[in-house]
Structure 1
Amino acid sequence: MPGAGDRGKALARWLGTGLLGLFLLPASLSLEVTVGKATTIYAVNGTEILLPCTFSSCFGFENLRFWWTYNTSDSYRILIDGTVKNEKSDPKVRLKDDDRITLEGSTKEKMNNISIMLRSVEFSDTGKYTCHVKNPKEKGLENNATIFLQVVDKLEEVDNTVTLIILAVVGGVIGLLVCILLLKKLITFILKKTREKKKECLVSSSGNGDNTENGLPGSKAEEKPPTKV
């Protein structure tokens, strides 16, 4: 059996794990930044593209700072820098590196949208775009999310031929199975009706035989020879 010392150590470990969980819980519910599900987006040269970014915080925010950065293997710069006073105000831009960039979205009514629009994109705009958010209300906690922009001549059309063929084959197989089931039910119904008619005929024939034996009208009972005088 474990001694008192072992039980004390186990209790200490259990308390330590619980306290660690309490410390980690606020961190798991704190500032989060997202740029959506797509990690790579494509834009045609000369068009405009929206670079999405939203944030959330269970503790709220005050004098929140946000900024977008652009970086490649040999370049790094801040594209836009702004602040949000509180949850009832829209973001204000303090610094903007490129006139082609405009701030989109709103932070009112829990939208928390700090997306940017990049117009007249060029091939040199290809690279990583990172959305940064820093919340003083959470002791200056900072978080970020990155999206990769690829500028191309034209967007490639997705060939759905194989998909359509697969769907057609699957649909044909399903239709064939339905037809087989319906045909099976029809044959079963016909066989059932045929058996019922045969049964009725047998019963009728058996009834006619009884009438003959009983000498009813129309019967073929043998006539008795006349009695000799």
Structure 2
Amino acid sequence: MELQQGRRSILHRCVQSGDVFHAGLVITLLLGVWYAQALEVNTGKVNFVEVMNGSSVLLPCTYSSCIGIKNLYFNWQYKDNGTLIKLCEAVIPAEGIEPHVKIYHERVVFVGSSKDSNISILLHNVTFEDQGDYICFAINPKEKGRNHSAVFSLYVVDELKEVDNTLTIIIVSVLGGVIGLIILIMVVKAVVLSVLNKVQEKNKECLVSSSGNDNTENGLPASKADSKPTPKA
């Protein structure tokens, strides 16, 4: 209540001052804060699944709200040729309190948990008639009746298609070969440089040794042992 009064006071002052720009900016910010806190339900990054006839399938759904929940109502519905058929419904009194879920479909099982903000269901023994859109809906009275829904599509097939990984294998093989070739070139380069460095060092040693021997043979360096005193007169 105090927060709402503060918002109204700020907006009222902006309007009174005639600053339309700032008034619009305040409204935009307030709307942004409200939407950031708003309830949201999500069926995951991939909102469809393909399953085999006769198998079981998980229909995922989670909810979130920055300001928390109170008496959150949710349900699952199946869209059958434009007609919504309710599969289950429940009310979560507060965070962490498990709901008492009413099931209206014999092959539906609630597998969610309020501790994880999870309201997913499991559909057993899927048939071709089950194919279609499933709607996860929730409404949060704590947010003045803010509601949200998400759609999860189910496709039923006789058998799952095998994914052809030939192209992926070829690409990985080529990349592996290129990387291996680069590593080999680097190793060969390192070996060649090492050999060249050793050869250069040996050449320098030979040049120094050869220069010393030539000077000795030419009698350039004076030798203390061979030097004789000058005879006295």
TM-score in terms of structure 2 length? 0.81
Q: Confirm whether residue 54 of structure 1 aligns to residue 69 of structure 2.
A: no
Alpha-carbon distance in 1 for matches of 2:212, 2:129 = 101
Q: Confirm whether residue 195 of structure 1 aligns to residue 212 of structure 2.
A: no
Alpha-carbon distance in 2 for matches of 1:83, 1:73 = 28
1:180 corresponds in structure 2 to 185
1:27 corresponds in structure 2 to 35
1:175 Cα deviation after fit: 1.2
2:52 corresponds in structure 1 to 44
Q: Which moved more, 1:166-175 or 1:200-209?
A: 200-209
1:63 Cα deviation after fit: 2.0
- Number of residue equivalences: 205
Q: Confirm whether residue 129 of structure 1 aligns to residue 137 of structure 2.
A: no
1:26 Cα deviation after fit: 1.7
Alpha-carbon distance in 1 for matches of 2:101, 2:128 = 26
Q: Which moved more, 1:14-23 or 1:30-39?
A: 14-23
2:76 corresponds in structure 1 to 68
Summarize deviations over 1:113-148 as a string: whole Å, max 9, x none: 111110010011110000000112221111111110
Question: Which SS does the other structure have where 1:190 is aligned?
Answer: helix
Contact 2:50–2:157 under 8 Å retained in 1: yes
1:16 Cα deviation after fit: 2.3
Alpha-carbon distance in 2 for matches of 1:24, 1:208 = 90
2:95 corresponds in structure 1 to 87
Q: Confirm whether residue 162 of structure 1 aligns to residue 162 of structure 2.
A: no
Alpha-carbon distance in 2 for matches of 1:127, 1:89 = 31
> What RMSD in Å do the two structures reach over aligned CA positions?
2.0
Give the % identical residues.
41
Alpha-carbon distance in 2 for matches of 1:123, 1:214 = 108
Unaligned runs of 5+ in 2: 1-16, 222-233
2:211 corresponds in structure 1 to 206
Alpha-carbon distance in 2 for matches of 1:215, 1:140 = 108
Alpha-carbon distance in 2 for matches of 1:26, 1:193 = 73
Q: Which runs of 4+ in 1 moved over 4 A?
A: none
From 122, 147, 150, the counterpart of 1:145: 150
Summarize deviations over 1:60-96 as a string: whole Å, max 9, x none: 22222111111144543111122222224211123x3
Unaligned runs of 5+ in 1: 1-7, 217-229
1:219 corresponds in structure 2 to none
2:25 corresponds in structure 1 to 17
